[in-house]
Each structure stands twice: as structure tokens, then as C-alpha cells.
């Protein structure tokens, strides 16, 4: 295995890839690789300065750490959405491509079987697979959701270089099997999607779910009208009648009238 080398890590994944048939998957793969090549060339990163791993529905790029991360982010924020808009507007629904993306940095080694090894790469993959990023893509009108590692944000994004506006990124914490990971999401932080049968989660964080109530019933006694409410003990004066015990109005009316 080669010694670990510091690299910029770019990961891109196609949403709902496994829902497509073989012909559609082959088309989406070609579309993805062409889009990535165009974006990296726009960032001034040619094939001699990057290394690609094919993951079927996703692509992983190890990029020379000397290449500009600012130029890479600028291309991801402009070139990728533009390419997606251009391609998707002409595509059938089954061929429409929506992407999740992660930009991170760290040390990665390549073994004799061309396998990539490194905890920094593992963390980037956890960000790519996070439910939060999936939910962000669900809400994104540009068909592209982007997350950057905390190291990339602190080293590059927070300085708000031209074409990389820091104010568009939000601090998030992603749960993973390796523990919580700090990251930065471009765009609004989405609400969680409730699991099947989990009605309370649909209200979103910090929202008390509404519990439907039966409509209040109205009772008319000799010209006096009472809606809802509870009366205890002996009650007089409703059309001249007297009620003993608790009388409930609004849930079916309990009690004895004489």
C-alpha cells in the first residue's frame, strides 16, 4: 500500500439510481461522468491531477491537494446546477438526474488492488450517505445538494471567496456509525422525513403535533343553549330543570336531568 497522501475528496451520488432499469442506469452513468469531467475542467483540474473510482451510482475523485479548492467549489455551485438544468429539461422523468455531493479533504492511501483507504475518506462517505443530505436534495429545486466537511469550510468557505458565498452554508451535525460529524450544508437545513407510521415526526422538530378533537356538541334546553363544558354537582336554571352529578357537554352529554 502506498503512503497516505493529502488530497481533496469529491464524492457525487445519483438519487434513486437503483429504481431505474439497466438502460436508464447506463445512461445516467454516462451523464454523471460527462458532467463531472466538465465541472473539473471548468475548475482547471485535468485528468493528470485526479484519480477516479467507479462506484456504480456514484463517483469518487481524489484531487491533487495543490489544485484550487475555491475553483472546485465555484464549479460545483455554478457549472453542476447549470448542467443538470440543461440535461434534465430535455430528459424523460425516468432519465432525470439529481445529485448529492460532498467536498472534503484528508489523507488517503491507495493499496495494490486500487482500493482507497483512510478515515478521512470514510467520514466523507458518511456525509454523502447521511439522511440530512438526502432530505436536503429532496427540497432542492436545483437538483443538487452539496455538503462540505468542517475542514473545508474553515479553510476555504468561511472566507467567502468570489463565487463561494459563506452565507449560503449552514452548520450541521451528521449522525453516523462513527459518531457525530460536523459539516456544512449549502442551503437551508431540511426537516426530517417521518418514518412510516410516525405521525408525530411529520410536524418537524420543535413542533407539537396537533391532536384532532371531536367537534363540540351544542344542547338546547328550553331556550337556553350550552356548548361544551362540564358542570358538577346540582345545576339549576337551564330551562327550569335541575341536573344532579357531573354533566358534560361536547362529548356525548353525561348526567341525569329531572
User: Which residues have C-beta within 8 Å of that of residue 39, sequence separation ≥ 6?
Assistant: 75, 76, 79, 80, 83
- In the chain, pLDDT over 70 holds for what percent of residues? 74
- Give the pLDDT confidence of 90-119 residue by residue, as tens digits: 888 888 999 999 999 999 998 877 788 889
* pLDDT score for 142: 84
* pLDDT score for 21: 85
* Residues written for the chain: 258
C-alpha to C-alpha distances, 222 to 92, 237, 245, nearest whole angstrom:
68, 10, 20
* pLDDT score for 200: 43
* pLDDT score for 1: 73
Lowest model confidence (mean pLDDT) among 3-7, 135-139, 144-148, 243-247: 243-247
Domains of the chain by residue range: 5-191, 218-257
Taking 80 as the threshold, does the pLDDT of residue 174 lie above it?
Answer: yes
* pLDDT score for 54: 79
* pLDDT score for 214: 44
Average pLDDT over residues 196-215: 42
Name the CATH architecture for the domain at 5-191: 2-Layer Sandwich (3.30)
Average pLDDT over residues 164-189: 92
Average pLDDT over residues 16-44: 91
Average pLDDT over residues 176-201: 74
Average pLDDT over residues 21-41: 92
Average pLDDT over residues 12-34: 90
User: Which residues have C-beta within 8 Å of that of residue 35, sequence separation ≥ 6?
Assistant: 80, 83, 84, 87, 97
Amino acid at each position: 500500500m502506498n503512503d497516505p497522501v493529502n488530497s481533496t475528496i469529491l464524492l457525487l451520488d445519483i438519487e434513486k439510481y437503483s429504481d431505474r432499469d439497466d438502460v436508464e442506469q447506463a445512461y445516467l452513468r454516462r451523464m454523471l461522468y460527462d458532467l463531472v469531467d466538465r465541472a473539473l475542467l471548468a475548475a482547471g483540474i485535468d485528468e493528470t491531477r485526479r484519480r477516479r473510482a467507479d462506484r456504480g451510482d456514484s463517483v469518487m475523485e481524489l484531487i491533487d491537494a495543490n489544485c484550487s479548492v475555491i475553483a472546485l467549489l465555484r464549479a460545483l455551485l455554478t457549472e453542476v446546477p447549470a448542467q443538470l438544468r440543461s440535461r434534465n429539461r430535455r430528459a424523460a422523468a425516468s432519465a432525470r438526474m439529481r445529485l448529492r455531493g460532498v467536498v472534503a479533504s484528508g489523507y488517503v492511501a491507495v493499496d495494490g488492488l486500487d482500493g482507497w483507504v483512510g478515515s478521512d475518506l470514510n467520514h466523507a462517505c458518511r456525509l454523502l450517505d447521511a439522511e440530512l443530505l438526502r432530505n436536503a436534495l429532496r427540497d432542492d429545486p436545483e437538483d443538487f445538494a452539496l455538503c462540505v466537511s468542517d475542514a473545508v469550510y474553515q479553510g476555504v468557505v468561511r472566507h467567502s471567496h468570489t463565487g463561494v458565498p459563506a452565507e449560503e452554508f449552514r452548520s450541521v451535525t451528521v449522525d453516523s456509525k462513527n459518531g457525530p460529524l460536523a459539516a456544512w450544508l449549502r442551503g437551508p437545513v431540511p426537516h426530517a422525513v417521518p418514518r412510516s407510521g410516525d405521525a408525530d415526526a411529520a410536524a418537524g422538530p420543535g413542533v407539537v403535533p396537533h391532536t384532532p378533537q371531536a367537534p363540540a356538541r351544542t344542547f338546547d334546553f328550553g331556550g337556553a343553549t350550552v356548548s361544551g363544558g362540564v358542570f358538577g354537582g346540582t345545576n339549576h336554571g337551564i330551562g327550569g330543570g335541575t341536573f344532579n352529578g357531573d354533566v358534560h357537554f361536547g362529548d356525548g352529554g353525561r348526567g341525569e336531568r329531572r
